[in-house]
Amino acid sequence: MADRIYLARLVAVNTGLSQNDAENRVSGVFAQLQQEIDVTRSTIARVFLWLFIALLIGAFCASFAATLGGRQRDQVRTAFKSLREE
């Protein structure tokens, strides 16, 4: 609160506004900044949620592809061994 009063005094001195007008202007700017911060915070939360989901899907796809590749590798070795034994 002391910061707002100090800032309002600076605004009043530098712009020639009355103390009440300067305090209203400072309060308005703080309210606007708080709204913008809330919107930014919400947007960042959504971005990180979608990033997490994308990474989770990527990890699942990599695991699934590794499983398929391992099975294919094992079948090739089995087929190669059976050809050598004949």
For the stretch 10-21, pLDDT in tens is: 999 999 999 999
Q: State how many domains the chain has.
A: 1
Alpha helices in the chain (DSSP H): 2-15, 19-85
Cα distance between residue 80 and residue 25, in whole Å:
81
SS3 19: helix
R_g over Cα of the chain: 32
pLDDT (tens digit, 9 = 90+) per residue, 12-56? 999 999 999 999 999 999 999 999 999 999 999 999 999 999 999
Domain enclosing residue 68, as ranges: 2-85
Residue 86: DSSP 8-state = -
